[in-house]
Amino acid sequence: MNNFIDFKKDRNFDQVLQDGFNFLKYNFKSIIKYFWQLNTLWIILFVLFSLFYVYFTLNKFSTAFSDLNNGTIENPNRFDGVNLIYTFFIWFFTFRIYLTVFGYIHSYITNHGEVKIEDIQEFIEQKNFLKYAGLSIIISFMVILGLILLIIPGIWVLVPVSLMIPAFFLDTDSISEAIDKGFSYAKHNWWFSFGILLVMIIVILFISYLINLPIIIYGMSKTIIAIKDSNPDAITGIVKDPVIIFFSFLSTLLRYFLVLIQISIGTVLYYTVKERHTGVGSLEKLEQLKNENDL
């Protein structure tokens, strides 16, 4: 393939970002196609749950505003059960995204650019949600603990934990091994990795801002009109506006496409620092050349 991205090699700063975005550019349609084929039921449930969650969340704010205007607040936690259910479902849905995209990358690497859906299916069957959940909890604990200790330890730990997810999905089924690889590979490449992650985060935040911009503009215009009219009911009704509900729902869906940027750049970064640490990619290429010469 002319557009084949060789993951298993060392790269400089610009090359990591360039190859991360190029991989997504060349494979975006295929990733979406396979994700739909392998997760149709979960996608439908995600759309329904997200619509349900957006509606009730906005309704909660509307009720809170109304209660505030009336001088009373009644049972403000009545939708906490919805938040808990939705949070757990999103946790699992994110796992499905990781499974499918990392499965796609695994097949892509194994077959030198050719992706087979049966490879992705086999990859999905081999991974365990409970192990991923355990790793996620440990990662969250590390980040929170680092931030509690000080801001600097919290930032420092972001680099190794960002490498643990691709390590878990692409290199090992063991939580302890994924953690060990994350810290080992980040040890001598921290500033390099941090720079890549910082640029990636800025790009994701900028795209998130663009996604939410229609809601911000529309919501501000409705709020200004309601304030000019001195109508508390109009302010309360803003969050129930069908346009606000639609754009909130749409932004919720679109934000999950940003996970693809995280996975693509994160995987290129992971293989880059792994190559610097182990040199395994170069050894594989030498072995391949040796076998070709023997033939």
pLDDT tens-place string over residues 42-81: 999 988 888 888 777 776 665 655 555 555 555 545 556 7
Confidence of residue 295 (pLDDT cuts 50, 70, 90): low
Q: Which two tokens stand for residue 225?
A: 């009109």
Mean pLDDT rounded to a whole number for the chain? 83
**pTM (2 d.p.):** 0.83
Return the pLDDT at 12.
93
Q: Is the pLDDT of residue 229 over 90?
A: no
Tens of pLDDT, residues 118-172: 999 999 988 888 888 899 999 988 888 888 877 777 788 889 999 999 999 999 8
Q: Are 124 and 100 in contact (CB under 8 A)?
A: yes
Tens of pLDDT, residues 3-22: 899 998 999 999 999 999 99
Looking at per-residue confidence, does 131 or 229 come out higher?
131
Return the pLDDT at 235.
54
Return the pLDDT at 234.
54
Confidence of residue 237 (pLDDT cuts 50, 70, 90): low
* Range with lowest mean pLDDT among 107-111, 164-168, 199-203, 242-246: 242-246
Tens of pLDDT, residues 267-287: 999 999 999 988 775 666 556
